[in-house]
Amino acid sequence: MGRVARIIACTATLVPAVVVADGNLWDSLQLHGFASQAVIRTSDNNFFGESPKTSFDFTEVGINASLRPFSKLLLSGQALYRRAGDMYPNTLSVDYALADITALSLDQGRAGLRIGRIKNPLGLYNETRDMPFTRPSIFLPQVVYYERVRNLVLASDGVSVYADWFSDFGDLSLTLVGGQPQIDGNVEWSFLGTDWPGHVEPNETFWAGSLWYNTAGERVKVGLSGATSSFKFDPNPGSTLKAGTTAFDYWIASFQYNAEDWTFSTEYVREPVQWEDYGVFFPDQKVTAEGYYFQGAYHIRPNVQLLLRYGEGFANRYDRDGTGSSAASGGFIPPFSRYSKIWTASLRWDINRHLMARAEYQRHDGTFFLSNRENPDFGDLVREWDVFALQLSVRF
Amino acid sequence: MRALALAFVSLSLVWSCELSAQDMIVNDGMNLTSLSRNQARLYFSQKAQLWPDGAPVRVFVLPDEHPLHRSFCKRVLGLFPYQLRRVWDRMVFSGTGQAPTTVTSEKQLIRGVATTPGAIGYAAEGSRHPGIRSLEVD
């Protein structure tokens, strides 16, 4: 953490210097950012705030700076402000803050090292998941990119090594990250069901890695990425939930095809989770969550894009219809809260280089990916529901 | 048949509009005479961030929707402009790279490349200007 703080401090002192930029050192300074505001209305269930009554609780603002003081050293950092319903009511965070050192740069490839807070290279979208212009739609495919526990896999405080090989047949990119994950209250809600007396903290090093292959010209992009770690619960004295651990893996297989006017993407995720030693009220168990989506985006005009997506996600791949879990809970948990099947239609309009508007409709069967922090009472959940959303985003 | 002929004529018109070729240009101080298409792609996408001599690659481009940019991407690099944008955005917003310098006119682009060591860009074919050199793309 101290390392991250030092890098941020270093980056922060650069900002005033841009005004008096004179020497070569500051010539490479770049500032970029974005801001977005969405309005969300759902037929039922809370999604990013009290959405059945129309919610404005989805705001994102990011500002970043980068500097290349020497040709082999890149310093960068981004501050992120987010409001996302009851999951993140008002959060200011350091999204990333890192030093990137190029160790090797050849015609055939490059290799290097990153130190600091590093975004985990998971799937097509995790690294820039909060930058609206890089997302395919207002909301990422929820069946793969769980919003309710986003911070668990978002970034690591640690070290990363990367290597890229370039050839006429395409590029191969390997990245490995090891560090400490960002664990917050949403992890406890999602994995332990409620806010227990005590708190959740990292247990082991968080490891993430990715391997990507692109054809030359990036027509085809194929990748495998994953993460593995565990966290533990530190109970307050007298807590009914004991000091247990939860170990999880998170694997994503990705494929994308890019044509001039359209892009097809598909991803498959698998997340085995194991709960141990939480005491008699929370028996040991092992469950594998699963999800996948197919997505096509077509440019109707150069600045207007229509996207269609279908995705399914399951809390337990061996109990996809949720009836097993529901029966085990004596009917307390409805079966449909263990899966989500989602149709999405989204329209993107790039008004100019800096401004983008989006409109989105989703039809849901099931409530698996909803945050129980936002929907604490199972009895209030509605199985079939709709989402309407609009979003306006700016960038510089 | 007439519709087909019309379609053919309009297609050839589109082609002839696009045929105004572009040159890849670099700062005159660069010790380079040619690049392969794949190398050019790597430098423009900023996946390769250093020249063989270790100096940083400084990319100058026109806006994504500019006809010269679109045409250069497709014809010289074999990429669609949105693909470059996607790669640049991923780097800029994950802190793993820097954005190219975007200028609004070809004149500014040429001037930028001429006055920046390690710069690479493009211009309409046959552009002459002190400080720049055009590169062969094999």
Domain of A370: which CATH number? 2.40.160
Residues in chain B with CB shorter than 8 Å from the CB of A71 are 50, 54-56
Interface of B with A in 101-130 (CB under 8 A): none
| Complex ipTM value | 0.90
Task: Decide if A54 is inside a domain.
Answer: yes
Residues in chain A: 396
Position A27 in a domain: no
Task: Examine residue A77 and state whether it is found in any structural domain, yes or no.
Answer: no
All structural domains of chain B, each given as residue ranges with its CATH number in brackets, are: 21-137 (3.40.190.10)
* Interval A4-16: pLDDT, tens: 455 444 444 444 3
Question: Is residue A292 in a domain?
Answer: yes
Q: What's the burial of B133, exposed, middle or buried (CB within 10 Å: 0-12/13-18/19+)?
A: middle
Q: What does the pLDDT look like over B50-104, one tens digit per residue?
A: 898 888 899 999 999 899 999 999 999 999 999 999 999 999 999 999 999 999 9
Cβ-nearest to A76 among B36, B79, B95: B95
Domain presence at residue A89: no
Which is it for the CA torsion A98, A153, A178, B91, positive or negative?
A: negative
Model confidence over A296-351: pLDDT tens digits?
999 999 899 999 999 999 999 999 999 999 999 899 999 999 999 999 999 999 99
* A166–B86 C-beta distance less than 8 A: no
- Structural domain contains residue A11: no
- What are φ and ψ of residue A12, in 5° steps? -65, -35
Under an 8 A CB cutoff, do B38 and A168 touch? yes
Q: Give residue B13's pLDDT band: very low, low, confident or very high (50, 70, 90).
A: very low
Nearest by CB: B50 against A28, A71, A77: A71
**Would A124 be classed as within a structural domain?**
yes
- The C-alpha of B59 sits at a distance from chain A's nearest C-alpha, in angstroms, of 12
Cα gap A17→A20, rounded to integer Å: 5
Strands ordered across the beta sheet of B22-27: B34-35, B132-137, B22-27, B119-124, B58-61, B101-102
pLDDT per position as a tens digit, A351-367: 999 999 999 999 999 99
Distance between A158 CA and the closest CA of chain B, angstroms: 15
Mean pLDDT across chain A: 91
CA–CA distance, A255 with A265 (Å, rounded to integer): 6
Burial of residue A16 (number of CB atoms within 10 Å: 0-12, 13-18, 19+): exposed
Number of domains composing chain A: 1
- CA-to-CA distance for A118 and B80, rounded, in angstroms? 29
Boundaries of domain holding A137: 34-64+102-395
Sign for the pseudo-dihedral over CA of B79, B80, B84, B89: negative
Q: Are A218 and A258 in contact (CB under 8 A)?
A: yes
Residue A81, in any domain of the structure: no
Q: Which helix H or strand E contains B5, and what residues bound it?
A: helix B2-18
Distance of residue B77 Cα from the nearest chain A Cα, in angstroms: 8
Of B79, B93, B99, nearest to A218 by CB-CB distance is: B79
